Amino acid sequence: MKKILLLFGLLFCSALYVVANDATNEPAIIDAAWLKANYAKAEYMIPMRDDVRLYTAVYTPKNKKATHPILLNRTPYGCEPYGKKNSAFWQDSIYHNYLQAEYIFVFQDVRGRWMSEGKTENARPFIENKQGNDTDEASDAYDTIEWLLRKVKRHNGRIGIFGASYDGFYTLMAAASGHPAIKAISPQAPVCDWWRGDDFHRNGAFTLFDAVSFLPNFGLREHSKSSEPVAFKSPIEGDAWDYFSSNRLSDITLSLAGQIPFWDEMMQHPDYDDFWQSRNALRALKGIKVPTLIVGGAFDAENSYGTWALYNALRESGSVEDCRLIIGPWTHCAWRREGKANELGGVEFSEESMTEFFRNEIEFPFFDHYLRDTESSGETEYGALIFFTGENCWREMGEWNPAESSSAYTLYLAEDGGLATNKSDICDSYSSYISNPDNPVPYYPETDAPRRKEYMIADQTFVEGREDVLTFISPVLEQDMTTMGAIEAVLYASISQTDADFVVKVIDVGPDGEYEMLVRGDIIRGRYRNSLSEPEAFTPNKVEKVSLRMNDIAHTFMAGHRIKVQVQSSWFPLYDMNPQQFIDISKATAKDFVPCDVRIYHDAEHPSHINIPIMK
């Protein structure tokens, strides 16, 4: 394992991108005029095997003396502008290397979106054994590639596919098609499972704030003869806390009924049933064999689950010989946006622009190696490049393999509010609180819209005075403690009602409490403690085990710091409020939401604890 300090100055001096004019060797500026002079745009309606046609924009270099690789992006977010006017994708510097290298760019509206025909089906299920004209996103990608290879001139027969967030799902499906022309892919912050951990749910709890902010807009942009999106006004007006306190999930569902089909489908499928399981993108991994660059952010509030889950699943399958992982100190897709993207919530991770580092030293070299045979394949050639927060440095390793590279360090919740390395020998010990749906625990000090991404790293002292938040803290660490992998919380709990949520937060506390950083927080809806697909009511006042496995982390708790753990039963309005009764939450009215007495046990028979994976 090799540790890389932030010596970005040298990297950037050698990797700063300059577009040069071949004749004069003078710097040229990529702008609208440059694109028009060097690229030709064409629009096609590409037929699929079931005769549905998908809108596709192709930008081909005007250089006729060479062949060019194809870079394909399939998206539900639109390929506007439609018609003769060129897209402004060139304004994003992440494309500049590819433009200079004369790639062919292909952007496609997926089925049923914007100018493509057909019907939209969100996270469309992968069909492993297709028969006849069976279609899925893999077949649509395959048919698109076949058409491109036949119809587009001057390509070199090699295709790379990239996509971030929801586009990452479509990247995975394209790779699962197994088309031989696909030579490399980069799914970035990919949607993999919308129930277990991505975007709309976390272990059964509904991500209320994000869903209401996103879906009414996204869900209305279906296929239309007009390229203009349906007019949209966010239902969240003013303070989000006030809106969600006044509008329960049932109220929002009623107001959106019939307008957004996917919202209705989500409400009809609260459990991890066939509807959600069939939409798990990891079902399609068997067909993925090409070099893969997986990218994610340590502070990605939307698709952190998909990033880690995809890499772990591909590594375990062994089907991809070159499977790379990069995790930076980024929020959702920040590495693709302009700017430094090197700070969050007042914490600065580097003085350099990590997004330039990503563009010039990681993504472009990876694709260029496999699509144009360049010698270097970038900084991730070693396998995994991970930014460890806390110590704020990159570490490169052959692979991300916590099971072999770490050992469990257990901290037990103690009666005195401490975290101990040994189990308690007390016979009967617990900490308790009342979870009141009329006064839920806020996720962040400010609750205005949009949802604050800073919550992923926020100081948690703003909730410590509340009686419905339990806090446990360790002694001062005598030496650095580096964690890699998934923290697991094991709670022994009893509740006075038939359901409750459990939120666990792991926090890094600096010397004298002058600094706090949320390292990882997660939630589980209690009814799914034993089965994700078969919810089970609690027996009031019966002690039961509730386990919560969080997304992976890479973090160093420095010497002199302490570890803090908080336990609570709401995280509002980030997640919908549990009525704390075993009922259909999407139909629960105000009278159904009741207070619940929660006890978290920490005695000899019921040793609530957290398991932290410590790097060997």
Q: Which residue has the higher pLDDT, 20 or 443?
A: 443
Determine contact, residues 406/386, Cβ cutoff 8 Å: no
pLDDT, position 51: 97
Residues facing residue 450 across a β-bridge: none
pLDDT, position 521: 97
pLDDT, position 616: 87
pLDDT, position 21: 42
Condensed to tens digits (0 to 9), the pLDDT of residues 471-490 reads 999 999 999 999 999 999 99
pLDDT, position 218: 81
CA angle 301, 307, 310 (to 5 degrees): 150
pLDDT, position 351: 63
pLDDT, position 258: 84
Condensed to tens digits (0 to 9), the pLDDT of residues 99-131 reads 999 999 999 999 999 999 999 999 999 999 999
Average pLDDT over residues 135-153: 98
Average pLDDT over residues 161-182: 98
Condensed to tens digits (0 to 9), the pLDDT of residues 9-59 reads 334 333 333 344 444 455 468 999 999 999 999 999 999 999 999 999 999
Mean of the per-residue pLDDT values for the chain? 91
Burial class (CB in 10 A: 0-12, 13-18, 19+), 31: exposed
Nearest to 455 by CA among 542, 523, 539: 523
Determine contact, residues 106/58, Cβ cutoff 8 Å: yes
pLDDT, position 363: 96
Burial class (CB in 10 A: 0-12, 13-18, 19+), 592: middle
Average pLDDT over residues 223-235: 55
Give the Cα separation of 238 and 379 in Å (integer): 45
Assigned token pair, 393:
């440095």
* pLDDT score of 7 more than 70: no
Q: Which residues of 147-159 are buried (b: 16+ CB within 10 A; e: fewer)?
A: bbeeebeebbebb
Specify which of 206-220, 377-391, 395-409, 483-497 reaches the highest per-range mean pLDDT: 483-497
Burial class (CB in 10 A: 0-12, 13-18, 19+), 264: middle
**Radius of gyration for the alpha carbons in the chain, expressed in angstroms and rounded:** 25
Map 451-493 to HEC letters: CCHHHHHCCCHHHCCCCCCEEEECCCCCCCEEEEEEEEEEEEE
pLDDT, position 20: 41
pLDDT, position 304: 96
Output DSSP code: residue 62: S
pLDDT, position 27: 47
* pLDDT score of 498 more than 90: yes
* pLDDT score of 512 more than 90: no
Residue identified by tokens 């308790």 is 432
Condensed to tens digits (0 to 9), the pLDDT of residues 236-247 reads 877 899 999 999
* pLDDT score of 337 more than 90: no
Give the Cα separation of 474 and 431 in Å (integer): 17
* pLDDT score of 5 more than 60: no
Extended strands (E) in 228-372: 292-297, 323-328, 343-344, 347-348
Which band of pLDDT confidence, cut at 50, 70 and 90, is reported for residue 221?
Answer: low
The model's pTM: 0.94
Determine contact, residues 591/416, Cβ cutoff 8 Å: no
pLDDT, position 220: 61
Q: Which helix (H) or strand (E) holds 365?
A: helix 364-372
Determine contact, residues 616/508, Cβ cutoff 8 Å: no
In the sheet with 68-75, reading across from the earlier edge strand, the strands are 2-4, 393-397, 384-388, 323-328, 292-297, 182-188, 155-164, 68-75, 104-109, 53-61, 39-47
Q: Compute CA distances 208 → 19, 104, 266, 410, whole Å.
A: 45, 40, 12, 33
Condensed to tens digits (0 to 9), the pLDDT of residues 572-582 reads 999 999 999 99
* pLDDT score of 2 more than 60: no
pLDDT, position 216: 83
pLDDT, position 514: 83
pLDDT, position 234: 67
Domains of the chain: 2-193+279-400 (3.40.50.1820), 404-615 (2.60.120.260)
pLDDT, position 348: 81
Condensed to tens digits (0 to 9), the pLDDT of residues 48-88 reads 999 999 999 999 999 999 999 999 999 999 998 999 899 89
For the chain, count helices (H), then strands (E). 14, 26
pLDDT, position 149: 98
* pLDDT score of 225 more than 90: no
